[in-house]
């Protein structure tokens, strides 16, 4: 079980900020593929991965990162702090 979080327009497209996902995905990219297969809104949110960033256990990461032992994955657009 992994907590999956969505922020900004990713959250708006998915429709909620957080869900628990039962998955055997080996990498973040595999998880994305699983989610996209579920419903059109995931397809819409993950249509262009170059427009997205991912954090694995609250650290910026990449789509090829492994998920073994991971508790939390977050998807969001490039950050606009400051």
Partner 1 sequence: MSVRVQSALFDIGAETAAFAKGRAGVGAIVTFTGIVRDRASGGLSRMEIEHYPGMTERAIAGIETEAIARWHLIDSLVIHRYGALGVGDPIMMVATAAPHRGDAFAAAEFLMDYLKSRAPFWKKEVAADGAEWVAAKDADEDALRRW
Query: Which residue ranges make up the site for partner 1 (CB under 8 A)?
Result: 5, 7-9, 11, 55, 58-60, 74, 76-82
Closer CB to partner 1, 11 or 67, in the complex: 11
| Region at 8 (left for phi over 0; alpha for psi -120 to 50; beta for the rest) | left
Shortest reach from residue 37's CB to partner 1, in Å: 26
Closer CB to partner 1, 59 or 62, in the complex: 59
Shortest reach from residue 28's CB to partner 1, in Å: 16
Closer CB to partner 1, 69 or 81, in the complex: 81
**How many Cα atoms sit within 13 Å of 73 on the Cβ side?**
30
What are 7's two structure tokens?
A: 């922020």
């Amino acid at each position: 079980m992994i907590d999956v979080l969505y922020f900004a327009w990713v959250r708006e497209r998915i429709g909620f900020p957080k869900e628990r996902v039962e998955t055997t995905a080996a990498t973040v990219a595999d998880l994305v593929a699983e989610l996209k297969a579920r419903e059109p809104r995931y397809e819409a949110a993950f249509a262009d991965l170059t427009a997205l960033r991912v954090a694995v256990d609250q650290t910026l990461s990449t789509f090829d990162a492994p998920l073994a032992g991971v508790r939390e994955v977050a998807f969001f657009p490039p950050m606009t702090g400051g």
